[in-house]
A and B are shown apart, each in its own frame.
Chain A
Amino acid sequence: MGRKPFLPEYWLARWQTCLNNGRGSGEGARGVPLSGHVGFDSMPDQLVNKSVNHGFCFNILCVGETGLGKSTLMDTLFNTKFEGEPTQHNQPGVQLKSNTYELQESNVRLKLTVVNTVGFGDQINKEDSYKSIVEFIDTQFEAYLQEELKIKRTLHSYHDTRIHACLYFIAPTGHSLKSLDLVTMKKLDSKVNIIPIIAKSDAISKSELTKFKIKITSELVSNGVQIYQFPTDDETVAEINSTMNGHLPFAVVGSTEEVKIGNKMVRARQYPWGTVQVENENHCDFVKLREMLIRVNMEDLREQTHTRHYELYRRCKLEEMGFKDTDPDSKPFSLQETYEAKRNEFMGELQKKEEEMRQMFVQRVKEKEAELKEAEKELHEKFDRLKKLHQDEKKKLEDKKKSLDDELNGFKQKKTAAELLQAQTQQAGSSATLKKDKERKK
């Protein structure tokens, strides 16, 4: 890829278009001719140097059922053996395992992170399979958003973990997409650049493959799944990208084993009936995938992730939190106003909560007080009743006592009267006897 233009007219035409399109930075600027070489045409080089010094970073997510050759494909793509044991089929849920590697090719350093979905498609009930994937992607967006919102932030040295490309592995059934595939891709297409690939495509014959690709593409379209399109807006790569767009989904074969073909060692899979050469474009689309994913569009994948997927996430998140760009009168908010408004709202909320709690307590206290007062009142009433009862009893007793006393008195009187009578009688009797005795004596 040449850096200096071959055709000045070509570039001139581009400038005209650019001017006519009136791009943001060129607005309001008048064009002035230069009478010599100033030297700012080195700007792209300066930028590139900076990027190279800084190093690049790229994150790939591989989604697909266990056993579709995800790890092998990564090894083949990046010409190296990444760590990891092949997974079993007995995972309870879908987990995401990520590994970061520092690679170098010529003077370019790449921090590559490969994220694998472990256990995808293995469960009996796969309804929630996509959830952990979506969560993972969102977590990376969230981490970036948090960094971006910090007061003291270090964005230029931040290790970007956002997923730039999602390779979706389709099982080589030859018929159509599984419903799990459609559901998952539909959930992911607004969050990540999806590149669907047919895995282990050496199991499909050429004619079946064409039909399979057509079926897949039509199913994706009819279900409204947005897969990543290689960009065609840059003339330098428009042609190759649009051709490749027509070959999607890529049918790939991965292999880390080498077989001798002619006098070269090539990566291949050896069968009794022949050898599938990974890098032979007649055998599979591996080379196309590598060209598109790495050599031509890696930077675009990163850019799309940042300017489209991440922005969408950010916008939704901020709107969720109640941020708006304009106030009710459609005047734009300044950042300060936005934060201040948010803060006031927030403080108001907290105050309200506090008040509510206090009120609730006051209410409870009141209620309890009333309860206890009731109980007290009841107690007093009870004792008043008892007191009254007691008083009655006492009165009865008093009456009885009185009557007894009366009787006693009566009896005493009677007794006294009787005794008096008796005494009188006796006296009379004794005097009568005395008289008699006296008479007798005479």
Chain B
Amino acid sequence: MVKSTSKDAQDLFRSLHSAYSATPTNLKIIDMYVVFAVFTALIQVAYMALVGSFPFNSFLSGVLSCVGTAVLAVCLRIQVNKENKEFKDLAPELAFADFVLCNLVLHLVIINFLG
């Protein structure tokens, strides 16, 4: 039983991997960016757990910048993905322009709140 479940897990992983390799490159680039942002957020949370939350506004600002930009990147991915029927008529350039603008606003707020 254990052997079959581990074989199932391996099969699952392999199928996921092959399916993922089929995604277009631009989506993979967005995914990498999201992973980078979330990773940075996790590092900050670990640091706060170690040191304490003294300048809490700085902590929030740092975490929020990572999480916010990750969320915006996910939104971009949703809008740009050709398999997504909902945004079929949305031009990818418009999506990207929205992404850039939102990020600008986000970083402005972050720098203000950083203290």
Q: Are these two chains actual partners, yes or no?
A: no
Q: What residues make up the interface of B, taking CB atoms closer than 8 Å to A?
A: none
